[in-house]
A and B are shown apart, each in its own frame.
Chain A
Amino acid sequence: MVRYILKRLLQLVVVLLGVTFLTFMITQATPSDAAEMKYVSMGMMPSTELLEKTREEMGLNDPVLIQYGRWLGNVLHGDLGESSKFGESVWTQMTRKLPMTLKLAGVSLIVVIVFSFPLGILSAVKKNKVADYMIRFLSFFGVSMPNFWLALLLMYIFAVRLGWFKVVSTNSVQGMILPVATLTIPMISSYARQIRAALLEELNANYVIGARARGIPERRIIWGHVLPNAILPIVTLLGLSVGHLLGGASIIETIFSWQGIGNMVVEAIRVRDYPLIQGYVIWMAIIYVMVNLIVDIAYRLLDPQIRLRKRVD
């Protein structure tokens, strides 16, 4: 197991190199120019000489590979570079914005789990009864609504018309309610449906008939057998969602002016703030590799078939 984890962490290094290199190339290929955007974002129209000077200063005139090499060298020395937009180090920017995203992601994840599991289970156990139809009907809307529209809708109803919340979210419990609701309503809907489907598939398995034939109480079959087995495919999905949430939900953070990392990267892309984009990409790559690793480990713990087969190998 330890060897397996080490191997995966080694893969992380390769992934990081590949991902940062690719992003570097792609950002360089975009038509606008970082030096120009730096001034435009400050509301200035720089002269050609000034632009040329700034380009030279920012190292934008060197070949792309040299620029990447320089950036990589600095990163290996623990220096992620300086954000051209915010004029402070990428590290400071990221560590300031990350806690906000982590908070939003953590709360959302808890809300998703707390709501989607009971709804999914209820829907599966009461299949084709009133409760199931209601959950399926509502979750259909939840899944279908684009989140920017949902955000604006919630804002309009609860902030503008009812005045319960502020339009601009603050870092408080009250300020979190709308962004969390916007993030979680589609997720709860889709998870409730997924959990329902996974449970129904498991409920059709022969071992359920076997357990019934042995006189095991239905409640025990659901909680002790079906649910633990049905959770396996859900774990993979949850892993992807965690990665998605930790990357900062850009649209929602932007709409609600939530000062998280998603909001930050949208801004960074707008002004071609290469070092900041690169910093974000490193973070995302780490998140996804780690989440995948955790999902794989969870799989091994939860599924003896995978655990034991690997041991034989």
Chain B
Amino acid sequence: MNVLELEDVSITYQNTKEAVKHVSFAVPEGRIVAIVGESGSGKSTLIRAAIGLLPTGGVISSGRILFGEKDLAAMTAEELRHVRGEGMAMIFQSAGDYLNPRRKVCDQYVETLRCHQKISKKEGYEAAKKMLATLKLPDTKHVMNAYPFQLSGGMKQRVAIAMAMSMQPKLLLADEPTSALDVTVQAQVVKQMMDLREKTGTAIVIVTHNMGVASRMADDIAVMKDGELKEFGTREQVIYHPVDDYTKKLLRVVPRLQGETDGE
């Protein structure tokens, strides 16, 4: 069964330019799909639409987005709220900015849990601490009692991932979750997301401009350019037998960059 299905989705900003043009693809249960493309290709817009939180001015001008079998647009506000956090969760690029700077991590974490589960504050606190520990965050008590601005970028990112994974959603949306992190933390975060899929069967849609991350994580790869879906296929198809010229170009860039770094 598909967790997420995009049918002929177009998105416009302020009635001017089309940021996403007639995109269709599906994400089956437990599958990892990477959306790659350069900045401005509409990939972030696409997953913001998938959770129903388009940036201001953005509207879905055609097509529909199905979560499970339900059309997001047809959901009531309360249904949508239940889906968010519980059914699908989102990790934003520089996720620390998506936490309230004036509330402690534990407050926001426990609040999130208690909005979806009937648990006491204490149970919520313990569950959150446990989840942070599985993400290998050192000194979880300190992290829990810190304000977001007291944590490093990598720590905040992992807190956000922990919060997103806590509800064991069917679908995890990740918008460049690793691009703000240094390389060692990047590898950890990628591994943790893959572990989540192993343990809970969560499907993941990850937006990245990093072909390396995409080829390491994804089962399927979607290639976007100028709002259009240029190519969609399994990792093997896209990486070893690309059809579209743009995909070929993208792939040519990756090894050359690595080659250059190796040479230094």
Contacts and interface: CB of A to CB of B under 8 A. Distances in A.
Interface string A197-237: 00000001011011111111110100011001100000000
Given A228-B102, A304-B147, A308-B150, A217 B53 contact: no
Interface stretch (B19-27, B75-83, B225-233): B75-83
Given A207-B100, A224-B111, A308-B147, A213 B90 contact: yes
B102 A303 contact: yes
B99 A207 contact: yes
Contacts of B116: 215
Interface in B85-130: 85-86, 89-90, 92, 95, 97-103, 108, 111-112, 115-116
B51 interface: yes
A214 B85 contact: yes
A234 B231 CA distance: 52
A215 B100 contact: no
A305 B102 contact: yes
A215 B56 CA distance: 19
B112 A216 contact: yes
Given A206-B97, A217-B81, A305 B115 contact: no
Nearest to A229: B102
Contacts of B92: 206, 209-210, 213
A214 B97 contact: no
A308 B56 CA distance: 33
A212 B103 CA distance: 16
A214 B56 contact: no
B188 to A, nearest CB: 22
B85 A210 contact: no
State the majority secondary structure of interface residues on B.
Answer: helix
Given A206-B97, A218-B77, A305-B149, A212 B84 contact: yes
Contacts of A224: 111
Nearest to B173: A213
B97 A215 contact: no
Interface residues of A, number: 23
Interface in A256-313: 302-305, 308
A228 B116 CA distance: 23
B111 A216 contact: yes
Measured as residues with beta carbon below 8 angstroms from the partner, the interface class of chain B is 20 to 34
B115 A216 contact: yes
A215 B163 CA distance: 12
Contacts of A209: 53, 92, 98
Contacts of B89: 213-214
Contact of A213 (B82, B85, B103, B150): B85
B102 A215 contact: no
Query: Among B92, B100, B101, B108, which residue has the most Cβ atoms of chain A within 10 A?
Result: B100
A212 B92 CA distance: 12
Nearest to B52: A212
B102 A304 contact: yes
A215 B147 contact: no
Interface string A165-201: 0000000000000000000000000000000000000
A229 B163 CA distance: 22
B82 A215 contact: yes
Given A214-B115, A218-B81, 6 more contacts: A210-B95, A213-B89, A215-B112, A217-B115, A218-B77, A305-B149
Interface of A: 204, 206-207, 209-218, 220, 224-225, 228-229, 302-305, 308
Interface of B: 51, 53, 56, 77, 81-86, 89-90, 92, 95, 97-103, 108, 111-112, 115-116, 147, 149-150, 160, 163-164
30 contacts: A206-B92, A207-B100, A209-B92, A210-B92, A210-B98, A210-B99, A210-B100, A211-B100, A211-B108, A213-B84, A213-B89, A213-B92, A214-B84, A214-B89, A214-B112, A214-B163, A214-B164, A215-B82, A215-B115, A216-B81, A216-B112, A217-B81, A217-B115, A224-B111, A225-B103, A304-B102, A305-B101, A305-B147, A308-B147, A308-B150
